[in-house]
Amino acid sequence: MYYIVESKKSMDQAAADLEAAIVRNGFGVMHVHDLGNTLRSKGVSFQNQCKVFEICNPIQASRVLAADLRINMALPCRISVFADAAGTKLGLIRPINMLKALSDDPALLEVAQEVEEKTIRMIDEAR
């Protein structure tokens, strides 16, 4: 269900390298959520660092939405960079598994396969 790798890089370096890999692989960064800072700003004690990158490839997204508009609730794709006592990690929920849970449309599974290959490549390039 998950694809998670460890990195020897700092959290900031892994996040910067991920952003570059996203662009290199034909996707765009729509937003980066800094969950740690957001939680701490709300008075919640949260020690770890965690940034969630919302990413999108417009062509792939339009293919998914044309097949089943309800899938909009699973978009955009997300890749996380997070750090805990064990170090920095990058990960995602595999698009194939997610879409299989939502639809059995072969066209959607084809798009999910393409997106999964690219998003895993992005993580591997940034690690």
Nearest-angstrom CA–CA distance, 16 and 2: 22
Tens digits of residue pLDDT in 101-115: 999 899 899 999 999
Q: Supply the CATH number for residue 107's domain.
A: 3.30.310.70
- Specify the number of domains making up the chain: 1
Nearest-angstrom CA–CA distance, 13 and 51: 12
Tens digits of residue pLDDT in 37-52: 999 999 999 989 999 9
Tens digits of residue pLDDT in 49-96: 999 999 999 999 999 999 999 999 999 999 999 998 899 999 999 999
Mean pLDDT confidence for 111-121: 97
What range does the domain containing 39 cover?
Answer: 2-126
